[in-house]
Structure 1
Amino acid sequence: MTAVTLPTTAYGPLNRGRAPLISMNEVSQTFRGGQGVPLTVLDGVSFTLYDGEIVALLGRSGCGKSTLLRVMAGLIEPTGGSVEYRGEPVRGATPGVAMVFQSFALLPWLTVMGNVELGLEGVADQERRRRALDAIDVVGLDGFETAYPKELSGGMRQRAGFARALVREPDVLLMDEPFSALDVLTAENLRTELLELWSAGSFATRAMAIVTHNIEEAVLLADRILVLGDGGIKGELQVRRPRPRDRHAPAFHGLMDAAYRILTGDKVTGDEDDPGSPLVNALPMAPVGAIAGLADWVEARGRAADLSDLALELGFEADDLLPIVDAAVLLGLARLVDSTIVLTRQGVNWTRGGIQPGKAIFARLATENAPLVRTILRALGGSRDGRLSDDFFLAVLRRGFTEEEARRQLDTAIDWGRYGELLEYDAKNGDLVLAS
């Protein structure tokens, strides 16, 4: 794990004097991967969520953000370490915690009122109805109490999800990418309203933690941003700006840049002296067209571009942009200087060289710097007729990846190899064939 030193820590002045609500102590979580191989998602993670703060858990897809949130909620028992709520060990579901999910998770046969009341089992009927109506009022769904989920827009369904969580009057509200399934304008509206409720003290919640891969969202919402990767916390940012925050302020962009620097701090560089294994050095999930588009965009801006500015200009989130950046860096087409992507000489030549010269450049770089592409070419070259089934490569990849990840790794390698005219792929028979 890459260590990142920042001016302040999770236990610095921002949280001095505040009561700890949820504490995680050396928490680890391991699942069974492909063919029963252990897959460690969290490895010795420690942090504390304090009274009066919003914490964003930021990171790429698959880095363990949602797993960490579920461990905090007591939905998953950690394989190592411990979780405490207000200083007491957690056994089962964490007391005083409610959760909002990405997928709304409403029961289609219940009305809004019925879905919200689900969080109040065991409460007397009159009190349950009063609290449900209050929660529906808080999230702005008055008049829709008797509506069914199919009658609601995506934004209204997510409001119902918030009401179902808030009706329990939780100490801690945990949110797993609650805005990612919504269109941009609806998500912006809900984020703004959530912050207004938080600032006005309109509900009982004392602290919130939100999983996101949207760096701008993290800077807009959070008092602290924890950047996850490699099974742990790679770094932390403390946001001391008052709300609402100005997206155009230099300090806002500075925080976004800092988050990008942490996220990109452990890039595979494609060093020829360390070729690595395709089971260790995974290919970034980026098609050639996206890599070419990024290179063209950066070249047109003087061969260098700030990642946060680039993401804002393109309307990309971290999960959209970073795999493409990773691929360009891995191949040797670009390099990163802090949070700035800079085209290398080979990147400029590839962008300007035309179709066939560009293919030749890409083929050489992919062979030299992409472990899985190189492994496939060696295997095909050593076969009797230069042909092997994709099942052969998937069986190898499953030793280090899940079934879905193995397929995506192979598909990316095939895409790169086809573009560089290094190999052909017979999708009907599932055969990879060495190019003539």
Structure 2
Amino acid sequence: MHDKLIELTGVAKTFRSADGAPRTVLDGVDFALHDGEIVALLGKSGSGKSTLLRIVAGLARPDAGSAAYRGRPINGPLSGVAMVFQSFALFPWLTVQQNVELGLEAQGVAPAERRARADAMLELIGLAGFGGALPRELSGGMRQRVGIARALVTNPDVLLMDEAFSALDVLTGETLRNDILGLWDGASIPTRGILVVSHNIEEAVMMADRIVILSSDPGRVRSEIRIDLPRPRDADSPAVRALIDEVYGLMTMRAPAPAPPGRPSAAGADWRLPAADVARIESVLELLAGSPFDGRADLPQLSEDAALPDEELFPAYEALAMLGLAQVEGGDIALTALGRHYVHAGQALRQSLFGRQLLTEVPLTARICRQLREEPERVLAEERVLALLEETLEAEQARRMLEVAVEWGRYGELYEYDYHTGRLKLPAA
């Protein structure tokens, strides 16, 4: 077993939302980054990936549990840990050379040594001759190279990458990723461990020795996959495609919803809904039904054709499965007979089918309808629904679930909603 560079034990982190309600982003996270490995951290929106990275970087402190670097508590930014950001985070008024030297200046390195080390790193990262340029004169890919050079010039023990390639076009991101892997595998940098936060499954499989998948709301370690394939890896090889499918399968699998500590389980009811609006659900359904898929698709290919990141598509996949319009298994999705019928139906029939599935397949919307029918005036205050949801969900999660339930229920013509009064009611007969 490799020595542990980073170790998180029982880490939890809670933030306050705009209305003051607490939101637990991470809960009970155990994680380690070992000497000599690249780990990719994946998770849907709300999984706390970036928060975990900030805790490792010393930019945030956990509310519970512990975070350590080489066995020592992380109480603030560390000289042995450097971070590359999605937004490049360059100072626009400084030259490339000056931006790269910033970390060395903060460490008290003498000017002559700073210049020499920055020059060497710019050459290593493919930016020789650009030291005098300003960031605005560079392409996005070159600006990110500056961000990487600034991180690596301090000779970090641990390199953190927060969606470092997501702001770049596909080809530029792939080239830069391969360059980083070339430096790592060729031992051209002294870095001993890399932790990558990504929403791109293929990127994670191409880079990592291990993939850790977080669940959402709150973030917990849900799955872990070890990858023994040598690098460089062929993205089209059967082994890599099989791994990508396996990760897609884990990411689309609906996780159990344990009740927060001290809260009842509401008789085991799971009121959660995927954060997918009706327009997105139907657009994915229509894409799946059309050419070249004809009702069945490999999820990575569907994502590529949709030209949307996986993170935005996962809720739609989950909604389609929940509504019985598609089946998701492994890395594949296929329309059900009902899904095929739905996609060819007119608007009125679509809404009728949608409403029927909400009553039979979605516990929350079925519960709202049942409560409405039990009310003498067939009217229900949203606070009643929120109180039900908050038995098993935190306040912010409960509010998000209510918003989805309102949109879905209105589309399925199960109930109406008055945004001024916050009341749901059965539609007039």
How far did residue 21 of structure 1 move? 1.5
- Name which of structure 1's ranges 369-378 and 173-182 shifts more when overlaid on structure 2: 369-378
Q: What corresponds to 2:24 in structure 1? A: 40
Q: What corresponds to 2:102 in structure 1? A: 118
Q: What corresponds to 2:323 in structure 1? A: 331
Write out per-residue CA displacement over residues 252-302 of structure 1, whole angstroms, 9 at most, x where no aligned residue.
111111112222232589xxxx9987xx63332223233223333444546
1:245 to 233, 237, 240: 233
1:363 to 355, 379, 382: 355
Aligned residues: percent identity?
48
Write out per-residue CA displacement over residues 183-234 of structure 1, whole angstroms, 9 at most, x where no aligned residue.
2222122112212222222222121110011111100111111111153211
How far did residue 420 of structure 1 move? 2.8
How far did residue 88 of structure 1 move? 2.8
C-alpha contact (below 8 Å) 1:119/1:164 kept by paired residues: yes
2:286 to 288, 296, 306: 296
* 1:281 counterpart letter in structure 2: W
CA gap of 1:189–1:281, structure 2 versus 1, over 3 A, is farther
1:318 aligns with 2:310: yes
How far did residue 61 of structure 1 move? 1.4
Structure 1 gaps, min length 5: 1-15
Q: What corresponds to 1:232 in structure 2? A: 220
CA gap of 1:166–1:49, structure 2 versus 1, over 3 A, is same
1:178 aligns with 2:164: yes
1:353 aligns with 2:345: yes
How far did residue 151 of structure 1 move? 2.5
SS of alignment partner, residue 58 of structure 1: strand
Quick one: distance in 2 between partners of 1:352 and 1:223? Answer: 44
Once the two structures are superposed, the pairs formed by residues 99-114 of structure 1 within 5 Å of their partners are 99-114=83-98
Quick one: distance in 1 between partners of 2:272 and 2:116? Answer: 53
CA gap of 1:383–1:209, structure 2 versus 1, over 3 A, is farther
1:210 to 196, 199, 202: 196
C-alpha contact (below 8 Å) 2:92/2:135 kept by paired residues: yes
Once the two structures are superposed, the pairs formed by residues 76-225 of structure 1 within 5 Å of their partners are 76-120=60-104, 121=106, 122-225=108-211
1:341 aligns with 2:325: no
TM-score (norm 2): 0.83
C-alpha contact (below 8 Å) 1:226/1:236 kept by paired residues: yes
C-alpha contact (below 8 Å) 2:379/2:423 kept by paired residues: no
Q: What corresponds to 1:284 in structure 2? A: 274
C-alpha contact (below 8 Å) 1:267/1:326 kept by paired residues: no
- Name which of structure 1's ranges 98-107 and 31-40 shifts more when overlaid on structure 2: 31-40
How far did residue 410 of structure 1 move? 5.4
Write out per-residue CA displacement over residues 353-385 of structure 1, whole angstroms, 9 at most, x where no aligned residue.
333222210122234444555566678775969
TM-score (norm 1): 0.82
SS of alignment partner, residue 66 of structure 2: strand
* 1:50 counterpart letter in structure 2: H
Q: What corresponds to 2:44 in structure 1? A: 60
Quick one: distance in 1 between partners of 2:92 and 2:427? Answer: 53
Write out per-residue CA displacement over residues 61-82 of structure 1, whole angstroms, 9 at most, x where no aligned residue.
1101111111111222222222
How far did residue 401 of structure 1 move? 6.0
Quick one: distance in 1 between partners of 2:116 and 2:388? Answer: 58
Question: How many residue pairs are counted as aligned between the two chains?
Answer: 412
Quick one: distance in 2 between partners of 1:430 and 1:150? Answer: 48
Quick one: distance in 2 between partners of 1:393 and 1:64? Answer: 26
State the superposition RMSD in angstroms. Answer: 3.3
C-alpha contact (below 8 Å) 1:108/1:148 kept by paired residues: yes
CA gap of 1:37–1:252, structure 2 versus 1, over 3 A, is same
Structure 2 gaps, min length 5: 258-265
- Name which of structure 1's ranges 292-301 and 421-430 shifts more when overlaid on structure 2: 421-430
